[in-house]
């Protein structure tokens, strides 16, 4: 990913969205189906609420072709506990996905007449498939896919028919950082610049999860009957099998990790999700502690600063 998020960038992105949102009825948040929690940004919930009214939101779990279908369904159910939210698994690379999205938009505004269009805006962190989706919805190439600057240009509108109008520039959000696991998972799917997280770090994290959650996919892909329980033993085993050897005939762990991570990313290992609602529920307890500590530190800093003045 080309975008590095600094506080200044986040501030600017947020300001752009605050400016655009009053003319929008509905937020379409694009997530990566393999990490629906870690690819979310809590600022969306924040931005949607003003003067006690919360704008409805459709959460699209994109790249569902790469994710575990049962887990994706569990996430949709969890998201829809909020009555203001509709959640749909999609695959933006398949243009036939438009119809369920249009129907979901209309469902959120049952009383809206066709001659008063529903204005929608797409948001999401980089690389989740926002541009691909806009192009699929528009039926033509209007948004550049791949890397793009964080600053949006002049907003234009796309008429999707059925009384729905879409802004053609997505709101680009920054990935969240409080949960350490989220950082690793974003690294696994390739949405954090590879140099920021080493392949062996990501690889060990990924393999630990796969050994626990998808042992049969590993057995199948790497042709092993007795799976070692330790990520290191597993990586050494398949590294040796594949001839990933370095100095002194030892397994080159970076090389074998890179292979496994890429096979996960492109779907060769099978359809895999990196987090479930239950896993996140447990992690949230830890995250809330960190957020609280951060807020306390900030408050102390402010107090000390005032004292000095
Ligand atoms: N497998 C798969 N790849 C997708 C899907 N949607 C988008 N992509 C790919 O994800 C990458 C990022 O997409 P892009 O639209 O540029 O993301 P953006 O940064 O959110 O605008 C591109 O290589 C797309 O081809 C999908 O549903 N399935
Ligand atoms: Mg894009």
Tokens of 235: 């990586």
Give the integer Cα–Cα distance in Å for 62 and 34.
Answer: 9
Tokens of 284: 């949230």
Cβ–ligand 1 contact at 200 (below 6 Å)? no
Specify the pairing of strand 57-62 against strand 26-32: parallel
Centroid of ligand 1 to alpha carbon of 272 (angstroms): 17
Which amino acid residue places its CA nearest to atom 10 of ligand 1? 129
pTM score: 0.90
Task: Tell which residue, 202, 169, 176, 190, has the closest CA to residue 280.
Answer: 176
Cβ–ligand 1 contact at 65 (below 6 Å)? yes
Residue 143 Cα: closest atom of ligand 1: 21
Centroid of ligand 1 to alpha carbon of 91 (angstroms): 9
Residue 148 Cα: closest atom of ligand 1: 19
Closest listed ligand to the CA of 145: 1
Which amino acid residue places its CA nearest to atom 9 of ligand 1? 129
With contact defined as beta carbons under 8 Å apart, do 235 and 256 qualify? yes
Centroid of ligand 1 to alpha carbon of 261 (angstroms): 17
With contact defined as beta carbons under 8 Å apart, do 167 and 120 qualify? yes
Centroid of ligand 2 to alpha carbon of 131 (angstroms): 4
Question: Which CATH architecture does the domain made up of 7-172 adopt?
Answer: 3-Layer(aba) Sandwich (3.40)
Centroid of ligand 1 to alpha carbon of 128 (angstroms): 6
Centroid of ligand 2 to alpha carbon of 187 (angstroms): 18
DSSP 12-78: HHHHHHHHHGGG-SEEEEEEETT-TTTT--THHHHHHEETTEE--EEEEEE-TTTS-HHHHHHHHHH
Give the integer Cα–Cα distance in Å for 244 and 62.
Answer: 33
Domains 7-172 and 198-265 share a fold: no
Residue 64 Cα: closest atom of ligand 1: 27
Domain borders along the chain are 7-172, 198-265
Angle at 267 between CA 287 and CA 147, to 5 degrees: 70
**Residue for token pair 């999401």:** 124
Query: 67, 92, 121, 265: which to mutate for ligand 1, most atoms within 8 A of CB?
Result: 92
Give the integer Cα–Cα distance in Å for 150 and 170.
Answer: 10
- CATH class of residue range 198-265: mainly alpha
Cβ–ligand 1 contact at 190 (below 6 Å)? no
Angle at 4 between CA 295 and CA 138, to 5 degrees: 110
- The whole-number pLDDT of residue 195 equals 59
Beta strands in the chain (DSSP E): 26-32, 49-50, 53-54, 57-62, 85-89, 118-124, 157-161, 164-167, 171-172
Which amino acid residue places its CA nearest to atom 13 of ligand 1? 129
With contact defined as beta carbons under 8 Å apart, do 169 and 16 qualify? no
Cβ–ligand 1 contact at 97 (below 6 Å)? no
b (16+ CB within 10 A) / e for 284-303 = eeebeeeeeeeeeeeeeeee
With contact defined as beta carbons under 8 Å apart, do 55 and 48 qualify? yes
Give the integer Cα–Cα distance in Å for 68 and 213.
Answer: 11
Q: Would you give per-residue pLDDT tens digits along the chain (309 residues)?
A: 446 778 888 888 899 889 989 999 999 999 999 999 999 998 898 899 888 899 999 999 999 999 999 999 999 999 999 989 999 999 999 887 777 898 999 999 999 998 899 999 999 999 999 999 998 888 766 666 655 443 445 557 888 888 999 988 888 888 887 888 999 999 999 887 655 568 889 999 999 999 999 999 999 999 999 999 999 999 999 999 999 999 899 999 999 999 999 999 999 999 999 999 999 999 999 889 988 998 999 899 988 888 877
**Residue for token pair 């379409």:** 28
Cβ–ligand 1 contact at 132 (below 6 Å)? yes
Residue 62 Cα: closest atom of ligand 1: 27
């Amino acid at each position: 990913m080309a975008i590095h998020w600094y506080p200044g960038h986040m501030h600017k992105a947020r300001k752009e969205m605050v400016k655009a949102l009053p003319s929008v009825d509905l937020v379409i948040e694009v997530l990566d189906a393999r990490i629906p929690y870690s690819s979310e940004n809590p600022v969306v919930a924040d931005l949607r609420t003003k003067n006690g009214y919360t704008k409805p939101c459709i959460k699209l779990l994109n790249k569902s072709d790469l994710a575990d279908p049962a887990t994706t369904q569990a996430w949709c159910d969890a998201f829809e506990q909020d009555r203001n939210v509709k959640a749909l698994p999609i695959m933006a690379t398949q243009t036939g996905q438009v119809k369920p999205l249009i129907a979901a938009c209309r469902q959120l505004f049952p009383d809206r007449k066709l001659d008063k269009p529903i204005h929608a805006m797409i948001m999401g962190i980089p690389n989740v498939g926002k541009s691909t989706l806009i192009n699929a919805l528009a039926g033509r190439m209007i948004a550049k896919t791949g890397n793009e600057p964080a600053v949006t240009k002049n907003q234009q509108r796309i008429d999707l028919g059925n009384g729905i109008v879409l802004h053609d520039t997505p709101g680009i959000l920054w990935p969240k950082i409080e949960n350490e696991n989220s950082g690793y998972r974003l690294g696994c799917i390739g949405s954090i610049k590879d140099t920021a997280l080493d392949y062996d770090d990501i690889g060990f994290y990924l393999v630990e999860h796969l050994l626990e959650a998808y042992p049969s996919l590993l057995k199948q892909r790497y042709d092993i009957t007795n799976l070692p329980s330790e990520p290191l033993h597993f990586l050494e085993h398949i590294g040796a099998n594949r001839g990933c050897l370095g100095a002194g005939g030892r397994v080159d762990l970076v090389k074998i990790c890179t292979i496994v991570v890429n096979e996960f990313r492109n779907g060769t290992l099978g359809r895999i999700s990196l987090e479930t609602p239950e896993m996140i529920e447990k992690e949230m307890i830890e995250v809330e502690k960190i957020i609280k500590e951060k807020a306390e530190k900030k408050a102390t800093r402010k107090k000390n600063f005032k004292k000095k003045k």
